[in-house]
Structure 1
Amino acid sequence: MNKQELMDCLARCGMHPGKVLGQNFLLDGNLLDYIVRTAAPPPGEVVLEVGPGFGALTAKLLAAGVELYSIEFDHRICEFLRTGLAAPNFHLIEGDACRVDLRRILPPEREFRAIANLPYAISSVFITRLLDLERPPELMIFMLQKEMGQRLAAPAGTKNYGALSVRTQLLYDVKMLRIVSPRVFYPPPGVDSALVCFERKKALPDLALRRRLGAVARTAFAQRRKQLQKVLCGNFPSEQVKAAFQVLGLKPEVRPEALPVETFAALAAQLSEVRK
């Protein structure tokens, strides 16, 4: 879809891209082809898309033969897609991707992939929702704000490393595929974007441990400049925290950004779910 085609779609719907909804439409056909080629979904694979817009990426995914479930918030765009992209393998859900029950709209007991030009305003909330699924996507490819991509891919010991980095990297190998200029969007966002790939690891920790790790990481990075043991003792039983540090050979004064994901997971496993 080129810019003129997009402008025609906008005119037909009587709309202007909304800043509140983060509507920045991707126009680069070569980049769209690259996304589908990199995701390489086999025919019949279940794919989840969020924010399909006027269907530039959607149409290419449908052409690949996937079973596509697209969530769109804007009712005007939904009406456009219902008439313009009618296909037996296209399932359009009108709603808020941060509230829709994903377990109800996706086929049960099926692996799926998530591929989207994700609205930047919901990216962290939506990715967190995916991480909280019993069986999260086996592959995710998202267009994100560059800073968000850097946070998700950041290694321990760097300033971008945080709670969401830990939670995401527990389940996925995260790779920044390329930085994307604002010029390939309409309207162009005020920031650079990044195409980020998430490949799920073979062994998944159980959901209870993942949730406990989330609580530990959020607590730790809420006061990232303070000594980790003191911070955790303020939220978890201090005896357990000190015992866990001893078992894992951690110094009380260590800062959270120094701990790799595996150590965070081991620390979470040592702590009970009961918080102060």
Structure 2
Amino acid sequence: MTHQARKRFGQHFLSDLSVVDAIIHAIDPQASDRMVEIGPGLSALTQPLLQRLDRLVAVELDRDLAARLRNQWPLERLEIVEADALKVDFGALGAGHQPLRVVGNLPYNISTPLLFHLMHWSDQIRDQHFMLQREVIDRMVAQPGDGNYGRLSVMLQVRYRMSHLFDVPPQAFDPPPKVMSAVVRMRPLPSDRLRLPRDPSVFEALVAKVFEQRRKMIRGSLASWVRWLDWDALGVAPTARPQELSVGQFLDMADALATAGVTNLAARSV
């Protein structure tokens, strides 16, 4: 049975076996792992994963592909969650089990929202291996001073240690996308390295606000809230641009605002 890739789902099916082998080698699945695959598609990763795993959970939105998978694998080996991954409770998938391992060739049109969605369960996840647009991965792993460093970098690096593993060319897919792809490894930071913001909503709003105008000095971007920020105590230059600040400095600024009782940055924006 053939399956026509559906543009509305952002489907590009991995077809290069050497790339499949490289991904499986990077994941190194063990039989007892509790693993979830997002977007199994035509089983390019599903099949080799099931050769290593006792059981796999697959999240698939396309009902035709979900039906195809049900016909290929018995329920005791492959559990199909037919749903939009952006609406899946990944915590429930791992309830009562060891930490989840999450893998997938993610649809590029939902990759960033999905990465943020998964952050809700980072304390229940062991690692994540994803195929994404390389441009997105460049932003995920970028460091201060890098032109790719931005909101996505800061928001993910506060929770994860990430590695760009290798690139994947368009011809590895059917149909080929118009962009270069890459594989990223995401591991939640251990408790002794994890520092969460005092008020996550303030942190999120602060990071979003300053990167709206990334060429602007942060004292200008934060004009409505500068009276709550002691630049010297924070060790932050008010003339700095956002791409020059570390994740820790963003945390320090957000915590200072939260301590001062500033809880609604969006309402105070200029």
By the TM > 0.5 criterion, same fold?
A: yes
Shift of residue 230 of structure 1? 2.6
8 A Cα contact 2:37 2:57, kept in partner? yes
Shift of residue 176 of structure 1? 1.3
**1:161 aligned partner:** 149
Equivalent of 2:219 in 229, 239, 243: 229
Equivalent of 2:23 in 35, 54, 62: 35
**1:131 aligned partner:** 119
TM-score by length of 2: 0.89
- Percent of pairs with identical residues: 31
8 A Cα contact 1:171 1:201, kept in partner? yes
Shift of residue 35 of structure 1? 1.2
Distance verdict in 2 for CA 1:260–1:63, change over 3 Å: same
Shift of residue 177 of structure 1? 1.1
CA offsets per residue over residues 160-214 of structure 1, 9 Å max, x none?
1111111111122221111111111000111111111112221333475544432
Which amino acid is the alignment partner of residue 200 of structure 1?
A: P
**2:84 aligned partner:** 96
Which amino acid is the alignment partner of residue 11 of structure 2?
A: Q
- Equivalenced residue count is 260
8 A Cα contact 1:120 1:145, kept in partner? yes
**2:95 aligned partner:** 107
Q: Map 1:123-272 onto structure 2 (within 5 A).
A: 123-133=111-121, 135=123, 137-203=125-191, 204-206=194-196, 209-234=199-224, 237-240=225-228, 242-243=229-230, 245-272=231-258
SS in 2 for 1:62: helix
Root-mean-square deviation (Å): 1.9
8 A Cα contact 1:132 1:211, kept in partner? no
8 A Cα contact 2:122 2:159, kept in partner? no
TM-score by length of 1: 0.87
8 A Cα contact 2:34 2:97, kept in partner? no
Which amino acid is the alignment partner of residue 205 of structure 1?
A: R
* In structure 2, distance between residues paired with 1:140 and 1:98: 16
* In structure 1, distance between residues paired with 2:227 and 2:161: 34
8 A Cα contact 1:223 1:231, kept in partner? yes
Which amino acid is the alignment partner of residue 232 of structure 1?
A: L
Q: Structure 2: which 5+ runs fail to align?
A: none
Shift of residue 270 of structure 1? 1.9
Tell me if 1:274 matches 2:224: no
Distance verdict in 2 for CA 1:120–1:214, change over 3 Å: same
* In structure 1, distance between residues paired with 2:166 and 2:124: 24
Distance verdict in 2 for CA 1:22–1:158, change over 3 Å: same
* In structure 2, distance between residues paired with 1:183 and 1:227: 42
Shift of residue 138 of structure 1? 2.1
8 A Cα contact 2:35 2:100, kept in partner? yes
Which amino acid is the alignment partner of residue 90 of structure 1?
A: L
Q: Structure 1: which 5+ runs fail to align?
A: 1-7, 11-15
- Structure 1 stretches of 4+ with a deviation exceeding 6 A read none
Q: Map 1:35-74 onto structure 2 (within 5 A).
A: 35-74=23-62
Distance verdict in 2 for CA 1:133–1:182, change over 3 Å: same
Which amino acid is the alignment partner of residue 266 of structure 1?
A: D
Which amino acid is the alignment partner of residue 33 of structure 1?
A: D
